[in-house]
Amino acid sequence: MTTRYPIVFEAEASGAVSAYVPDLPVYAAADTAEQAEREILDLLTHYLTERHARGLPLPGSQTVVRVARVTSSRLRSTVTIVSTAALIGPRRSAKKAAAARRNGLRGGRPRGALSSR
């Protein structure tokens, strides 16, 4: 069984980085993002291992993460809620981009990519 827990990292004004798991009592802070990541992973592993050792079930994640997309113009800002995929953006590999150009607007795979028999 796989459970996914979102982890939030926040940079402080001092340069320190704090991390927490919204659904669990797991918090960490460190001087760098790399240290904070190591710390939160260690603490999360320890917390869940202890629960398992005591025969307690792993708690499910109740947190839903969305992203606020803010589009600003000279006069106002427009805010919409989008999925977390928006954080990654429309990037794709050069190979996928080339296949999309060859394929045009037809959709599906480019001709010759797979032959059905």
pLDDT digits (tens, 9 = 90+) for 103-117: 775 555 555 555 454
pLDDT of residue 91: 67
- Amino acid identity for residue 105 in this structure: L
Q: What is the mean pLDDT of residues 70-87?
A: 87
- Type of residue numbered 24: L
Q: What angle do CA 44, 15, 11 make, to 5 degrees?
A: 50
pLDDT class of 46 with cuts at 50, 70, 90: very high
pTM for the model: 0.65
Q: Which of 23-27, 45-49, 62-66, 75-79 has the lowest mean pLDDT?
A: 62-66
pLDDT for position 111:
59
Report yes or no: 67 and 82 within 8 Å, Cβ to Cβ: yes
Single-letter code of the amino acid located at 60: G
DSSP the chain: -------EEEE-TTS-EEEEETTTTEEEEESSHHHHHHHHHHHHHHHHHHHHHTTPPPPPP-----EEEEEE-SS-EEEEEE-GGGGT-S---HHHHHHHHHHTTS-SSPTTSS---
